[in-house]
Chains A and B, each alone.
Chain A
């Protein structure tokens, strides 16, 4: 056999998604585990590799119990060698396996940049469409709570500049399961960005299998005065801000983008045409960020509908501080978001 069959069965997205409301409340980390385990039971080509994923049950207990269920050939403790296991995943994927690579933190993916940015997203293109690289890279992204500058990377600002891979950033357990299952079924490489600060978040997660299509934002709250756009953890800050603003009669659409590559810009444009105002909240640095991209596309496509220049709420443009009070001042929060919206709608 020389043709490598990538017979990954694509999910049936025409099937309606199960209700978001319910009483099967589990943690975000359990939702991730459930997504991986369900897919691994079906397809023995899938393996999970990373630092501390097996014996230790994961540095953040995401893979708890998976070694017991799937054994050491499929749940693999790697040496501390991010570029090594990222590159190994490329070769394994090229030969028909489906690797899930866990970075303990996306901050550590920087030493694997050559493999994940210079090889993974380009392999298909460079081989004239022949050698795809269907690897899922996942791990903690963004400030984890006083981890200091080197361990608090929010990589989407950097990585989303590179074409050839998909980037999913869930904000809640329900989406975490549905998006990760889709990621594992993807034929293209996927960067899956989780947040250490949300792994303990609880929410209803349906026990059945479901797949959330990439490139479809979720309207988390409806309102006609301003559009709030975010992804990942800051979606919660947006919801909090929207709640506060509603008390003073300002109603917001809150869009949870769920994936930023592909980006559901149509959903943003549709909302902006209704509200005339947009505030984009992004926990990356502001310069050339995803927020910048969203604002640019809004101006290109909906300039005439805007009643106020698009506004970005990012982190401060400095290295992530270690000190608790400085880190808090550095990150986007509900107060800053609410102030930005008030300013945009001309309220006091």
Chain B
């Protein structure tokens, strides 16, 4: 019996704005307006300033470990702009701050989080983002479950979940992709392929030519885009989100980008990355190409840049002030937020601060009954 092809797949690559700032006008049609691009570029500059400030804070020992977002702003902003604020839910890992901020999560809360304060994960009323998720990959299942809930509740919302190339080796990734596909839920999987899982290069993490092709196994629409190209990221995200919203099921986007900074402030990437590689990617920085593009179109000049830089500096300074001004959380928080309904055991712990032995009575242990 002759053999036949049971399945054949391919992955499309999309780039609209190249690294020299040259735009493919045809592909850019019906994407971003000039006003959008100016506004988003200005915002990108601001996010870069805030990000660099977080790095400096850590070096000054005013912040714990921080994972810089530097170089990946177009991926976060293009996708964040495509999602409907207050409607769609962003389910992040930790390298897409710009998207969260666009959707209303206060910048200083992200700083509070990395300074080690759970209140940084308390999302304000009306903001549709989940807290940062540092374990790799677990949040993709939460996004899938949330999208399942949208479907059950017949709400026209989409969940967009972010993760890196490294996370696609996790079982959680495959389980989330399989569920999302089998249940056809409105969830967009957005992979920021920044080439490195801490010190392990992408080629060593997987034998696949692209990350996007992993979606083919789940029969999920997928695309690989230039992740440093705001236009391509926006277009791919918008198409995926709107298809999901109209009942077309989940989608996968691989944004090819690069982590210009270290994995976190606890890392020194110079130990394992060639400087030639980093330098080459420096040239593909999303900020550089957008500025070139806007300048070429007469929409940007040095004066505007200076103003945007100044606004970035000011914002960063405000964010630091707000985060550091939050003070420390009350000790009782740890008892109050363990259960929704306080158990007697927890109530006693809270009252006596008797965490070293659940069984001892305060009078036996010679402990004071602590004030509230």
* Residues of A participating in the B interface, judged by any CB pair closer than 8 Å: 1-3, 10, 47, 73, 78-79, 81, 83-97, 99, 114-115, 118-119, 124-132, 134, 163-164, 166, 186-188, 214-215, 261-263, 265, 293, 296-301
Contact = CB atoms under 8 A, between A and B. Distances in A.
A130 B121 contact: yes
Interface stretch (B28-36, B72-80, B149-157): B149-157
Nearest to B123: A130
A3 B146 contact: no
A95 B123 CA distance: 14
A243 to B, nearest CB: 31
B130 A94 contact: yes
A263 B329 CA distance: 29
B333 A81 contact: no
8 contacts: A91-B145, A94-B130, A114-B135, A125-B338, A128-B333, A187-B340, A298-B359, A300-B364
B138 A119 contact: yes
Contact of A95 (B135, B140, B145): B145
A115 B91 CA distance: 16
Given A2-B128, A131-B130, A215-B343, A163 B179 contact: no
Contacts of A96: 149, 153
A262 B343 contact: yes
B149 A301 contact: no
Contacts of A89: 145
Identify the 9 closest CB pairs spanning chains A and B, nearest first.
Answer: A91-B145, A87-B141, A297-B359, A84-B175, A300-B359, A187-B340, A95-B149, A91-B142, A88-B145
Contacts of A262: 343-345
B142 A87 contact: yes
Contacts of B175: 81, 83-84, 87
A97 B185 CA distance: 15
B145 A94 contact: yes
Contacts of B141: 83-84, 86-88, 90-91, 115
B178 A187 contact: no
Nearest to B345: A262
B362 to A, nearest CB: 11
A159 to B, nearest CB: 15
Interface in B143-183: 143-150, 152-153, 155, 159, 171-172, 175-176, 178-179, 182
A301 B361 contact: yes
B178 A79 contact: yes
A73 B152 contact: yes
A81 B178 contact: yes
Contacts of B147: 91
Given A94-B146, A127-B122, A114 B343 contact: no
B337 interface: yes
Contacts of B339: 124, 164, 188
Contact of B357 (A81, A94, A97, A300): A300
Contacts of B138: 87, 114-115, 118-119
B152 to A, nearest CB: 6
A90 B142 contact: yes
Interface range, B side? 35 or more
Interface in B345-370: 345, 357-361, 364
A187 B342 CA distance: 10
Contacts of B176: 84, 87-88
A261 B358 CA distance: 12
A73 B333 CA distance: 38
B337 A125 contact: yes
A90 B131 contact: no
Contacts of A265: 359
A296 B360 CA distance: 9
A128 B159 CA distance: 22
Contacts of B142: 87, 90-91, 94, 119
A4 to B, nearest CB: 9
Interface in B113-138: 118-123, 125-128, 130-131, 135, 138
Contacts of A119: 135, 138, 142
A129 B333 contact: yes
B27 to A, nearest CB: 34
Given A2-B126, A126-B118, A129-B122, A91 B340 contact: no
A91 B341 contact: no
B52 interface: no
Given A91-B147, A124-B338, A131-B131, 11 more contacts: A2-B126, A81-B179, A83-B172, A88-B179, A95-B145, A96-B149, A114-B172, A119-B135, A125-B334, A299-B359, A300-B357
A130 B146 CA distance: 16
Contacts of A10: 341
B86 interface: yes
Contacts of A261: 343
B24 interface: no
A52 to B, nearest CB: 16
B203 interface: no
Contacts of B337: 124-125, 128-129
A85 B148 CA distance: 11
A1 B122 CA distance: 17
Contacts of A131: 130-131
A84 B178 contact: yes
B214 to A, nearest CB: 16
A126 to B, nearest CB: 6
A301 B178 contact: no
B336 interface: yes
B118 A95 contact: no
B87 to A, nearest CB: 9
Contact of A85 (B118, B179, B329, B336): B179
B145 A92 contact: yes
Interface in B17-49: none
A129 B336 contact: yes
A187 B290 CA distance: 48
Given A83-B141, A128-B333, A95 B146 contact: yes
Nearest to A118: B135
A306 to B, nearest CB: 13
A163 B179 CA distance: 29
A128 B112 CA distance: 12
Given A91-B142, A114-B135, A128 B119 contact: yes
